[in-house]
Amino acid sequence: MKINYLFLFLILLLGCQQTIIQEEIQYKEGKVGNPTFSPLGGIFDDVQTITISCSTPDAKIVYTIDGSTPSRTNGIPYTNTFVVNSFVIIKALAYKDDVADSNIVRSAYSFKVSTPQIIPNGGKFPFEKTVELTNTTKDSIIYYTTNGANPSSSSSRYTTPISISSSMTIKTIAYRYGWSYSDVATANFTFEAETPLFYPPSATYDTPQKIILSPTIYGAEVRYTTNGDEPSKTSTLYTSPILLQSSTTIKAITIKEGINNSQVAKISYIFKVKTPDISPAAGTYNSSQTITITSTSGASIYYTVDDTTPDNTKNLYTAPFTITQKTKIKAIAYKTGYEDSIIKVESYDMTTDQKIDDPLFSIQGGSFNTPQDITISSPTANSFIKYTLDGTTPSTNNYFDIISGSGTIKITNSKTIKAIAYKDGYSVSNVKTETYIITGKVETPIITLPSGTYNSSQTIEITSNTEGAIVRYTINGGEPNSDDTVYTGPISILGSASAITLKVKGFKDDYQASDTTSCNYVFKLPSPTFNPEEGTHSSKVTVLISEPVFDSTIRYTLDGTDPTVTYGTIYNGEYIPVTNGQAIKAIAYKTGWVESDVSTATYTLKVANPVPSVKGGNFTTAQKITLSCNTYGATIKYTTDGTDPKTSLTAIIYTKGFDITQTTTLKSYGYLTGFTDSEVITETYNF
């Protein structure tokens, strides 16, 4: 029979196509939706809470975290969110009865410790700095170096803020078991002393001045010059106030061991002879006047009465003189080392007019313990008043001018007021003088940092509630006096003496000095720290010792005795091997500090528990078991009959994997010379 192959082929093709189309439809309509993860896999710097969901109602989800393929019979049933905190690949499958299983979806979670923060993040500083290292990853450990080398888990372990006082580069890294190391954070620190402080400030003075120089950091010294040379470490050492009696430029630097010298501070003091004071005041008088001229103590005064300009070839003033007619007096003063004074000019007219009455003060001069409001008036109606507050003589053509009896002059500090009254058609009154001494007691200054024991740099601020008071202090235990250092800003103290007594006192002209307030500061080194920390370890341990205060010396012992500043091995950064049960004791000391307390770390070396490749459970097929131990060189013994492998005669030394084909209780432990044995681990396999 002749077969129509073409027809047969078409029938077969159509039939196959119909079958495939139906399967695809059934497959798409009947397959469970793929599981979805929240959050999606990635790299994280904190533990993650994992949610797995499926869009198919009533679908069940099973997942694995051991690399195996999830199925309806293998994996962990998903019932609630769970936490992952180390690298893991999660595989998930969703399924439902009478419906095709979903595709297997996988998501990988990696963990990297966040980069530590260095606070402050480097810079230039004038005095000791306390550096903090922080990290946002919970349970992470921070390691650091101060020599520019990249840190590792063998570097110094950060446990407490680091006190540094010399230029360095700090590098830090953070670690957490099962996570990737963080990136390295780096900060560069340089130290340069601040320029010295000067008191009083640069200005023009008409009397000798005592200049006080002070560093801003305790333990520093100030070197200075007054001849224009740049100061250096060989220049004059400041030890007491510098008496200046002529115009001078002072250049000074602050020097402290371990940090860079300060920049040069330059300050100029100008001395200028006080403008001569001519008394009585210029004005119109109805009788002859006796003229007195005064100026800076020790100055030579020259004057003219013929309207010519005075100089040192004119009349030398030696005693009061009398004028009887209209006269213009000009005077100038000279003194070696001082700039010449300004020329003072006063004009006097003579008249037969009546002389105006002298001014009246509302309060007579005297001593007061509160500020005073003074009113000046004249008995002569419609008259005017001129007055001064600096002790000089007023005249009708200068100084403060008020209408008689109007306004008040508020006196808050001791002042001498001189006043005259004048009015057209009258000769000027006599000069009326009143001196007001405002007295009281300066309030005791306040020190912001209380007495105590500290283990890092401290900055002290001092305040005074008495307006205009000058605060002076000592840090050698001496009573502050008018020649001691003037407080002008925060003081840094650390490490030049183990115990510092700060005494502070307030001063103000015409006031009684305040009571002295004091604080005592002790600087004690924090205890050394150990890396790794004490405790139980499953591998051989070598220990590093570190001290947060830079440049400290550490001594340690391994025989149980307490080290001291003179006893024990000096630690030089080496790794110290320890044996099982051994204790390391360490102490730190440094010049200018109280030595630390002794810190102790005891180390137990214990073999890690054996780990079977397959945990106990219910099985239907034979299981291949391998045993491993994280302690290098350890030997594993095991039994399969339920007996104790430490004592049983049937215990076997593990050398290779073995099969379990029937219900078995597997017990195993690890041992190694110099280590404590591991625990006995029990796993039961049911068939």
State the Cα–Cα distance between residues 157 and 438, nearest whole angstrom.
Answer: 61
Q: Specify the pLDDT at position 502.
A: 93
Residue 412 reports pLDDT greater than 90: no
CB under 8 A, 24+ apart: contacts of 181-185: 181/112, 181/113, 182/112, 182/113, 182/114, 182/115, 182/116, 182/135, 182/137, 182/140, 183/115, 184/115, 184/150, 184/151, 185/115, 185/116, 185/117, 185/118
Residue-level pLDDT at 650: 92
Res. 14 pLDDT band, cuts 50 70 90: very low
Instruction: Tell me the pLDDT band of 576, cut-offs 50, 70 and 90.
Output: very high
pLDDT at 176 over 50: yes
Task: Give the pLDDT score at 684.
Answer: 94
pLDDT grade for 26, boundaries at 50, 70 and 90: very low
Within 10 angstroms of residue 476's Cβ, the number of other Cβ atoms is 10
Beta-carbon count within 10 A of 440 CB: 14
How far, in whole angstroms, is CA 289 from its chain's centroid?
69
Of 94-98, 465-469, 557-561, minimum mean pLDDT range: 465-469
Rounded Cα distance between 165 and 130, Å, is 9
User: How many Å apart are CA 521 and CA 517, to the nearest integer?
Assistant: 14
The residue-averaged pLDDT of 570-591 equals 93
Q: What is the mean predicted confidence (pLDDT) over 291-318?
A: 94
Q: Residue 2 is inside which H or E element, if any?
A: none
pLDDT band for position 129 (50/70/90)? confident
Six token digits for residue 153: 């888990």
Q: How far apart are CA 341 and CA 295, in angstroms?
A: 9
The pLDDT of residue 405: 64
Average pLDDT, the chain: 88
pLDDT of residue 217: 81
Residue 588 has pLDDT above 90, yes or no: yes
* Stretch 502-512: mean pLDDT: 91
Report DSSP state, residue 298. Answer: T
pLDDT at 273: 95
**pTM for the whole thing?**
0.62
- Helix, strand, coil shares of the chain, percent, nearest 5, are 5, 45, 50
Q: Residue 235: what residue type?
A: S
- Reported as type and span, the H/E element at residue 296 is none
The DSSP result for 379-441, as a single string, is: SSTT-EEEEESBSPPP-TTSSEEEETT-S-EEE-S-EEEEEEEE-TTSBPPPPEEEEEEE--B
How far the first Cα of the chain sits from its last, in Å, is: 63
Q: What pLDDT band is residue 1 in, cutting at 50, 70 and 90?
A: very low
Distances (CA, A) of 405 to 362, 383, 402: 9, 10, 8
**Residue 15 pLDDT class (50, 70, 90 cuts):** very low
Cα dihedral angle (15, 17, 18, 22), rounded to 10 degrees? Answer: 140
Per-residue pLDDT at 440 exceeds 60: yes
What is the C-alpha separation between 605 and 633, in angstroms, rounded?
Answer: 13
The CA distance from 214 to 487, in Å, is 9
- Token code pair at residue 655: 């050398």
Q: Residue 8: helix, strand or coil by DSSP?
A: helix
* Distance separating alpha carbons of residues 15 and 603, to the nearest angstrom: 78
Residue 231 vs residue 622, higher pLDDT? 231
Report the run of H or E that residue 299 belongs to, with start and end.
none
Per-residue pLDDT band at 218 (split at 50, 70, 90):
confident
Average pLDDT of 645-654?
94
Token duo for residue 45: 């710097």
The residues, ordered by sequence, that sit 6+ positions from 50 with a Cβ below 8 Å of its Cβ are 37, 38, 39, 81, 82, 83, 84, 90, 109
Angstrom distance (rounded) from CA 33 to CA 55? 6
pLDDT in tens, 459-504: 899 999 988 899 999 988 899 998 888 998 888 886 556 788 999 9
- Would you state the pLDDT for residue 56? 95
Identity of the amino acid at 490: P
Decide the pairing of beta strands 541-546 and 576-578. antiparallel
> Strand locations in 30-87, DSSP E?
36-38, 42-44, 48-53, 60-64, 76-77, 82-84
C-alpha–C-alpha distance, residues 623 and 196, integer Å: 81
Question: pLDDT of 534-551, one tens digit each?
Answer: 999 999 999 989 888 888
In the chain, what's the furthest Cα-to-Cα distance?
Answer: 171
**397, two tokens:** 């053509």
Q: Is 577 left (phi over 0), alpha (psi -120 to 50) or beta?
A: beta
Q: Which tokens is 465 given? A: 């509630």
DSSP assignment string, 325-373: S-EEEEEEEE-TTSBPPPPEEEEEEE-SSPBPPPPEESS--EEESS-EE
Q: How many CB atoms lie within 10 A of CB 609?
A: 16
pLDDT confidence band for 21 (50 / 70 / 90): very low
**How high is the pLDDT of residue 12?**
34
Query: How far apart, in whole angstroms, are the C-alpha atoms of residue 527 and residue 416?
Result: 62
Please give the Cα distance from 433 to 387 (Å, whole number).
9
> Are residues 191 and 258 in contact, defined by beta-carbon separation less than 8 angstroms?
yes
Q: Tens digit of pLDDT for each residue in 594-615?
A: 999 999 999 999 999 999 988 8
Per-residue pLDDT for 619 more than 90? no
Cβ–Cβ under 8 Å, residues 209 and 200: yes
pLDDT at 20: 28
Tell me the one-letter amino acid at 565.
V
pLDDT of residue 3 exceeding 70? no
Spatial distance between the Cα atoms of 139 and 86, rounded to a whole number of angstroms: 12
Distance from C-alpha of 541 to C-alpha of 596, rounded to nearest angstrom: 25
Residue whose C-alpha is closest to residue 250's, from 270, 234, 233: 270
